[in-house]
Amino acid sequence: MSLTTRMSLMFMLAVTAVLTVAGLSFNNLSRHHFKMLDQQALNEKLQSTQRILTGLSSMNQFSDIKPELKVLLGEHRDLIALIIDGDGKLLFAEPAWVEVPQAFRATSNNNLWEWRDQGQMYRGVTAQARVTGQDKPLTIMVIFDVTQHMSFFEMLERWFWMGLMISALVSAALGWMVASSGLRPIRQVTQVAASMSAKSLQERIPLAPVPKELQQMVLSFNAMLSRLDDAFVRLSNFSADIAHELRTPVSNLMTHTEVVLSRKRNIEDYEDNLHSNLDDLKRMGRMIDDMLFLAKSDNGLITHENKSIDLVEVVEKLLEYYRLLADERGIDLEVSGRGSVRGDVLMLHRAISNLLSNALRYTPEGKCIRVDIRQQGASISVVVENPGEPIAPEHLEKLFDRFYRVDSARREGSPSNAGLGLSITRSIIEAHDGKIWCTSSKGRTAFHIELPCADAKPA
């Protein structure tokens, strides 16, 4: 069932339950109230009759008190009074004789009793009165014909159940209207979600007409749209960047091939062209390998070894590799501190190599690149710092995006730089349960890596 139907049924059941409890309670209380009124009236008549009978000095005077008894017991239209002597002889009946069950004739202590006879319902009390000179007491029965009362309650019950059915149907209809009106914001969310497309991801659901209870859901939905919009933009840019980066080597291959094929050439020219084509093919191969690596990283398919690694040894090997290039530009390379982590030495070697290569590219001649390794609690910090032009704050979070360049104008990447190095570095660090970020201020740029210590227990 739909949510509107469920809420309508719940509203109907709640209203029906409340009305049922209220109706049954009213009915029982009303019956009890009338019963108490009847008992009180019967007891008053009974006590008055007992007082008159106990005042007799003998049964010979009974005929003298009959008028008084008629006045006392005949004023009530539905009242029946019977007086029977000890031998079972009827002495008085007002207004007429009623066949009372034998069990009720012996009842005493003013207990109220009821019985039905031929569609009539009676309610009465029985008591005894002693007359001077009589060995056996007189039996007094005062009875009310409560048939009309019971008929009224039966009719009230019928009307109550009919009214309850009508109220249930009306409450179901009202519940449907209320639920439908209350769920209108959800339908709006559904309509917006159904109308979403790649061209409308920037639309948002307004919060003004949304009830407070649904605002958090709308906020979450709008946040999801923002994430989808951002992911779609990144994906679109990534596709454009891939085409942009691959265009240069493909164009070079086509140009070189067309030039060579334009006329007959000697063996050396063909060899030179093939070597040139090979360089472009290697660049494309590296780019494809890098993109495959990032695709595996996005899907959690990167697996690595779990060996203890001395980061100082890794950094020193890399500095030895880059030292020749650094010496040509008068750049010093320094490393300080110690620390060990667990992971894949080749992958960490590649990550730190990307950072050092990036630092060498942007460090002015005659300056120094520092690599600092420190243990901080249960983690190892690696900081690769170099002097140079600072990076604007708005670019720091995007440095690790694929093909992202700080320059606003798009330009061709160099053969050794396709704009994927920092993205690969982040994927490697995250695969090792670490994190990486960049800071840049006062003419110095630093990339910070934080990895679990080698002796740290896995989470």
pLDDT tens digits, one per residue of 251-305? 878 887 888 888 888 888 888 888 888 877 887 777 777 677 767 666 666 666 7
Query: Does residue 371 belong to any structural domain of this protein?
Result: yes
Query: Does residue 457 belong to any structural domain of this protein?
Result: no
- Cα Rg for the chain, rounded, in angstroms? 51
Q: Where are the beta strands (DSSP E) in 146-193?
A: none
Query: Does residue 180 belong to any structural domain of this protein?
Result: no
Tokens of 302: 């990167």
Domain closes at, from 273, 298, 323? 298
Domain closes at, from 258, 275, 298? 298
Query: Does residue 190 belong to any structural domain of this protein?
Result: no
Query: H or E segment at 350?
Result: helix 345-362
Whether residues 109 and 9 fall in one domain: yes
Mean pLDDT by runs of 10 across the 459 residues of the chain is 82 90 89 86 84 81 82 76 82 76 68 80 84 80 83 87 90 86 76 72 74 79 83 72 71 81 83 82 76 68 76 91 89 91 87 90 90 89 91 83 59 52 84 89 91 70
Residue 370: what pLDDT? 93
Tokens of 295: 């695709």
Long-range CB contacts (< 8 A, 24+ apart) of 93-101?
A: 94/69, 94/70, 98/122, 98/143, 100/124, 100/141, 100/143
Query: Does residue 325 belong to any structural domain of this protein?
Result: yes
Among the listed residues 304, 365, 375, 371, the one whose alpha carbon sits nearest the alpha carbon of residue 330: 365
Whether residues 11 and 116 fall in one domain: yes
pTM of structure: 0.48
Whether residues 327 and 264 fall in one domain: no
Distance of CA 363 to CAs 339, 384, 388, Å? 26, 12, 5
Q: How many domains does the chain fold into?
A: 3
Query: Does residue 109 belong to any structural domain of this protein?
Result: yes
Domain coverage including residue 78: 3-166
CATH code of the domain containing 273: 1.10.287.130
Neighbour order of strands in the sheet with 138-145? 90-94, 79-84, 138-145, 120-129, 113-117
Distance of CA 383 to CAs 352, 374, 438, 449, Å? 10, 9, 9, 6
